[in-house]
A and B are shown apart, each in its own frame.
Chain A
């Protein structure tokens, strides 16, 4: 059986948003994206190749990111992904929606008996 393709605890669709955010910082190749996510989340999100590459393919297909072959700092060929204008717009929209949802969830979780 193939390894589980969803990182544990990651809400569906969230991975796409995180990838977009990572690429908003700078264009990056697949391995770099995974490492960057790991670093920024301090090891909470460890994205394996089995979920990363399908997500990249999806995002590229929908025109949110664009990939091109470039040389890495070690002089190796790698496919670098960069945000397209559509991707940037999507990231802004997703971020806003996420903030609204997160705030709402936080309020619900803080609710005490007798409130409402």
Chain B
């Protein structure tokens, strides 16, 4: 047994059996005294004298016992326990201070913990898959670094030749009409190749995964896996569902298994069907970019090695690739990297989002610390006599520092406990707010990791705000404090420290206010962006035409014509049309676009191609800049006319009138008949893509319908649904929405970020304001004598107010100046969240200055006013 172990167990025993240990020590010392007295008696002293001498030699029995106790570590535990009890007594004695401090701490620690849960989810926590670090995304990338989806043929190349992977899976998003007993609903799913579950390392809750035969063209492909969420919401958790048939897009499919809740990176997906790449189809070719490929690396293979292998493979197979794909290569990156840097509905990536939030909440926590430190300093002032007394009675400097720090830590612990309780709601709130911004695999959770963080942050906070008061308390001027007979002293140095703290609070608040101001300006800028169409009074909904019931182009086109005709006949409908890339919804196709009189290998321009019916552009209210839009007569499969957007016109026809000019889209030449204003694709703040509108008859898959209403667009939805049902009861209207709502929703992520950071800024402003008020009130209280003498000597009330205001505003100016400088640098961190606003945006800076100045003026004026009201005589008499 080691000595350390002995010491540990001995101490533990002493702690647990404290009474026994104490009694034993008493007894032993008693025996010592008796032995000592006996020795003295035998030396000839009388009994009483011998006992007295023995006692005198030993000195204070209590002191000896203290020394013995100090010999073991358990005494330190006991002392800390005593300190903690003493600290909580002191905190109880000043309930107002304690309440304010705990509240501030609870908010600070609660907010930090909540935001940390997002940081942990996005950047620190491993993805919820076995050996998730072996999961990578494999993508195609061109020589300008532009990433794109993967072609089916390229995926087959990798699958056949690469040796770096345990498995590769190709996935593509799909939607389908899910037929219920008497309901119909459009659901989102993924088509996946058969190694899907193996690559992710997922086990089905019930049933099994896909077999290789089930992704083979002509094989038993009529199978489907569903998620636990869909199982819950649509099938009542009935285990018998496995083996039964469900109807998706009018195709019966056998349910072979159920995937556990939250199993996938993205939460929208409800079902999985085999991705079948029919030989010689466009999907199996090496040209079109459409799929996402995820791979599981073999153990010991790094993403970099896999990247090198696939690049070499690509070079070897170069001969197999079509000419226009010679500029495309391949890249590999960790799946985690794909998720945290992937596009979201937020401004910026998940990584940028959480870093901004963490920085802001860190500032709030710092301000809270400075605030409590300055409160503690003011309080220490009043407690100076008590501390001086303790020092005079023999408490060492270390002992007093420990006492003061313990008090801070007790305060922090109470605040931390309340903060964790707050974080319970905070994390839930954050989870809801970021639903659209973070993929499912990166969902914030309040778990053990986050709780450990909150404990750490509590301790760090306690030390941070406790260290200044503790160092102050270390060297009390015992004589001075005691001489003043309990009246608190005014130390200029103490004032300086508190002033610095308050100035720092103001500076940090300025940073947050400027950030919130910049975000507000960005949102305003974004709201003022021209979407390129008239979003008012437009109804939109999505449709998918099942291949089973509408196998041919003609049938699809006929359906679309029929439906649009019925809708246009409805009262209150001004225009209606079908398209595939509705504003704010994405869609359409990325195709190579060029002018026929320019060489094919000029800069690659990928235009966004949308196949639209006549009436579509009118229903959206897109502005016609020149030429004409499509007519009914243009909507035939042999039509070779195109309407282009402003950006397309500027890209290709800077030197001539685009009207009547030929344009090559995906290898086919079209004549430009009209130019439209640029319309938004996914987001108002994104660059406008070069759009090319082609007649619907060329690809009438019909993915969405837009209807321009005379009145409230959503009130038309019922009538439209009835017409659809009459035409085909097997089709569901999905995502029925008004486009002004879509536009507003597209800014919701920015509003959430603004709300969070604005909230932090307001909290910071309140803290700084309280800090400044506290300092000024305190300074007025300690200067009361001086102020009264001034007034007695003839100073006016205004003079006194001005005197106090000047002090406070000087402090504010210092904090403001420092804060503005810092925020210029901090704005760079915020860049990802800004839109058409510079870090030095004058309006945001000026607004901050005004807000800070007004609030500071108020915080200083109240104490100044009170100071000027004191009656000189009463104050001087009290002295």
Contacts and interface: CB of A to CB of B under 8 A. Distances in A.
B32 A49 contact: yes
Contacts of A3: 59-60, 63
A2 interface: yes
A60 interface: yes
B31 interface: yes
B67 A2 contact: yes
Interface residues of A, number: 29
Q: Is the interface of B mostly helix, strand, loop or mixed?
A: helix
A30 B492 CA distance: 55
Contact of B31 (A35, A62, A77, A86): A77
Contact of A50 (B6, B24, B64): B64
B7 A61 contact: yes
B59 A49 contact: yes
B31 A53 contact: no
B131 interface: no
B14 to A, nearest CB: 9
B64 A63 contact: no
Interface in A61-90: 61-63, 72, 74, 76-79, 86
B29 A53 contact: yes
Contacts of A86: 3
Contact of A31 (B25, B31, B394): B31
Interface in B17-41: 24-25, 27-29, 31-32, 34-36, 38-39
B745 interface: no
Contacts of B25: 53
Contacts of A61: 6-7, 10-11, 71-72
A53 B27 CA distance: 13
A5 B70 CA distance: 12
A55 to B, nearest CB: 8
A33 to B, nearest CB: 10
B66 interface: yes
Nearest to B70: A54
Contacts of A55: 71
Counting chain A CB atoms within 10 Å of each CB, the highest count among B38, B60, B71 belongs to: B71
B36 to A, nearest CB: 6
Nearest to B6: A63
B793 interface: no
Contact of A49 (B1, B38, B64): B64
Interface string A3-39: 1010000000000000000000000011110010000
Given A31-B36, A72-B35, A76-B34, A57 B71 contact: yes
A72 B34 CA distance: 12
Contact of A53 (B1, B10, B57, B67): B67
Contacts of A74: 38
Contacts of A96: none
A63 B1 contact: yes
A48 B1 CA distance: 31
Contacts of A77: 27, 31
Contacts of A54: 67-68, 70-71
Contact of A78 (B35, B64, B67): B35
B213 interface: no
Contacts of B34: 76
Nearest to A33: B32
B58 interface: yes
A32 B59 CA distance: 18
A2 B11 contact: no
Given A49-B58, A60-B10, A61-B71, A31 B63 contact: no
Nearest to A30: B32
Nearest to B35: A31
A2 B61 CA distance: 9
A90 B6 CA distance: 15
9 contacts: A3-B60, A30-B32, A35-B39, A49-B64, A50-B59, A53-B25, A53-B68, A61-B72, A62-B7
Given A30-B28, A49-B57, A60-B10, 11 more contacts: A2-B59, A2-B67, A30-B35, A53-B25, A58-B71, A58-B72, A61-B10, A62-B6, A76-B35, A78-B31, A79-B28
Q: Which 3 A-B pairs have the closest CB atoms?
A: A2-B63, A31-B35, A54-B71
